[in-house]
Amino acid sequence: MLFGNKCYNPSMNLLSAKNLSHTFEYELFSDVSLELHAKESIAIIGVSGSGKSTLLHILSTLLKPDDGEIFLFNEDVSKLSKKRLTQIKRDSLGLVFQSHYLFKGFSAYENLEVASLLSQNDIDDSLLKRLGIDTCIHQKVTQLSGGQQQRVSIARVLTKKPNIIFADEPTGNLDKETAHEVMELFFEYCENNGAGMILVTHDETLAFKCKKVYRLENKKLEMLK
């Protein structure tokens, strides 16, 4: 089996967002609420500019909402010390973006070693084979294609064994077949580790593979599935 089992409570509330609102030059959304439980995957779809990525950044604590509350593992994010929030980000949250943010001066494997050292988890050779990067893993990041870099980024996140995966167009640089395989990998990880995933995507085919689907439209979040 790929990935080991984690101890988890099937009804555990990994994330709870209540009445979130946010504005830049104009109001992006208001009164947005959702919950993420163990083994659950949520997709958020919507047109460009609707605020999907901003909402994901807020849920993953990269941004603060103008209004509303976020609880991670039953802890109120707004009341956490900087040290505690940093610990949660390091140990429990995994972020995958279309821009991979790999360390350019390192090899692909050295990028994974950083995640391995920080999380104290071993690098899983079967994961590298599953992602098709086992044969290029010792090359410099700059020698890899965009798709290979994206798969290294995904391997780096999964090496951490996070409790929540936040994924913003994680398959944008991948062909259709590889994108499908990566999504199956995410679902398998969540199932085997009692983790959860929140996915932002334009691809509705991928979105509806998730257990829940929301559309962000007209400043509101509507559940479709």
Q: Report the C-alpha gap between 44 and 50 in whole angstroms.
A: 11
Query: Distances in Å between the alpha carbon of 6 and those of 104, 127, 196?
Result: 32, 17, 12
Residue 206 belongs to a domain: yes
Calculate the average pLDDT of the chain. 91
Q: What pLDDT is recorded for position 5?
A: 43
Q: What is the pTM of this model?
A: 0.91
- If we measure between CA atoms, which residue out of 58, 76, 3, 38 comes closest to residue 168? 58
pLDDT in tens, 18-70: 999 999 889 999 999 999 999 999 999 999 889 999 999 999 999 999 999 99
CATH of residue 176: 3.40.50.300
Residue 30 belongs to a domain: no
Q: Report the C-alpha gap between 37 and 41 in whole angstroms.
A: 8
pLDDT in tens, 78-93: 999 999 999 999 999 9
Residue 11 belongs to a domain: no
For 122, the domain range is: 41-57+84-223
pLDDT in tens, 139-187: 999 999 999 999 999 999 999 999 999 999 998 888 888 888 999 999 9
Residue 109 belongs to a domain: yes
Q: What pLDDT is recorded for position 165?
A: 97
Residue 23 belongs to a domain: no
- Count of domains observed in the chain: 1
Amino acid making up residue 181:
E
Residue 9 belongs to a domain: no
